[in-house]
Structure 1
Amino acid sequence: MHAIRLHAFGPAENLTYEKTDDPVPGPGQVRIAVAAAGVHLLDTALREGFQGPLPALPELPTIPGREVAGTVEALGEGTDPAWLGKRVVAHLGTVPGGYAELAVTDAARLHAIPEGLDPAAAVAMIGTGRTAMGILQFTALGPDSVVLVPAAAGGIGTLLVQYARHAGATVIGLAGGPAKAAAVAANGADLAVDYNAPDWPERVREFLGDRHATVVFDSVGGEPGRAAVDLLGPGGQHLVFGWSSGGVHEGGPLVFTEQELAERGITSRSVLGPPMLAKAGGGDNPVRVLETRALAEAAAGRLVPAVQRFPLAEAAAAHRALEGRATMGKVVLEP
């Protein structure tokens, strides 16, 4: 098979397209003919040699990627034969191997791809979608909600905008640059604003009149995150799931003290990792609960992920584009 391999940690150019041995499924596993592989920002950190939330860096050489969709074409010993020939999607967990024509994973990780959903969309929902479902657990959106999404052109932001619109909320989407702002408007935001424009907070205040934002879904942080929180009214929620422009809490480049937040009646909290999973419920596998919810939302047409596609051989270009904030939606590699 052909795959993307990393022989040394470092820049995107270290990702090379090579021919390598086909993986062999072990007991309880399947081999998937990959039609789409997800690219995550964490992949770029791992490529550089930063392990992030994972327990360890992968051994080199490695095939990156932890989200795949395709068709089951081989079974390991003891695997249910009903999986053979099925269209499936899976998050590989901490085990990489997704940037390839073939990938192996445990059958317990598989979800059947819903009818009518293409593999790239399924890949977006198994990773990005499950994260969005987790974030949304922490707030109840409705017609009285005023939602502000600072990274509204990204994979998660696109889904948050759609979900909030379906809930009847007023949605303000921020994005970096006119093209991204236009995409946010096309996605259904009531107001789409380029946060590179210095007067964007005034534009939002003018749009809202005597209202305030009730929820900020923040993965940007930094100056845009700080300005977004300033648009929250009393009782507002600041839900943090990233900080691509720098931190906004104590210890970050911009500081919100607990006293400042308390005086304004604003709740600010991180909603990733164990807190998100603990709230998901569903017994001993809350991750699967969120994955199932995400795929169901896509199958029903309530959530339509934005996807930016690259050929598998151009994984390095995909990483550069993602790191340079030149992408919109979920980045997907297609063999």
Structure 2
Amino acid sequence: MQAFVGTGVALVTPFKNDTSVDVAALERLVNHVIEGGVEYLVVLGTTAESVTLSKEEKELVKKTIIEANQGRLPLVLGVGGNHTAGVIAELTADNLKGFDAILSVSPFYNKPTQEGIYQHFKSIALSSPVPIILYNVPGRTASNMLPATVLRLATEFPNIIGIKEAAGDLVQAMELIKDKPDDFLVISGDDMIALPLVLAGGAGVISVIGQGFAREFSDLIRLGLAREVDRAFGIHYQLAPSIDMIFEQGNPAGIKEVLQLMDIMKNTVRLPLVNVNEDLAKRINSFVAKNYKLANH
């Protein structure tokens, strides 16, 4: 499971001005984050605006990333939903070809009980040909996957290898870390508390800001894993304002503004998302210009 220790990045889907998928920009993004030193790539997650992509567009995104990656880093594919049978139907060898694991979000909208969440992931675990990383994000799903449920799944199904914990609750994450099986990965899904979670025993992060400032953020996480606390927090406090800003008006509108400033892609998002407003765009621009030389990215 060492492949998923460190920094993974939840890749955006670049769009052209007409909102069609920008393949060339996606290739640039993949090379940017790989050259920045991240450990793995997460494909078609929330940050990819995957709910607005057609089946054909999802296949194009997958194909583009696999070809641009050229086997350099492990790939994780977002495969989740609130219809258990539908998720299982996606878990075919053809659909998962080229991917090392899946990231599967806890069911949203239905608001299942903890037993319902357990049964959902049990069914997925019994069907998936690749390892599974659970994804707990109560702010989007309207239900919290409690530590007891996660630990039950982690203990009973060896192919459930970790969790992206994005409840924003460090105490809950620490409870998981304290009681988890030795080889189970607790991965931060929140950039702002990624370093404290790593220092508490977490395995790293699946990051949004890490695809903009790939070198800086992946260095931060590696320093945290090495317990070089002062150096790690030095980078954290330098990046912290940008983390606040990229989520201030929604994800991925904020990070797309950063990536446009780095000449990687346009800042186009699909409705119902909209671009950040002029005030936030100016603040993001000021941060990037003041703290980083764009030529180095």
**Shorter-chain TM-score tier:** 0.3 to 0.5
Higher strand proportion (structure 1 or 2): 1
Higher helix proportion (structure 1 or 2): 2
Max radius of gyration: which structure? 1
Q: Given the two structures, how large is their TM-score scaled by the length of structure 2? A: 0.33
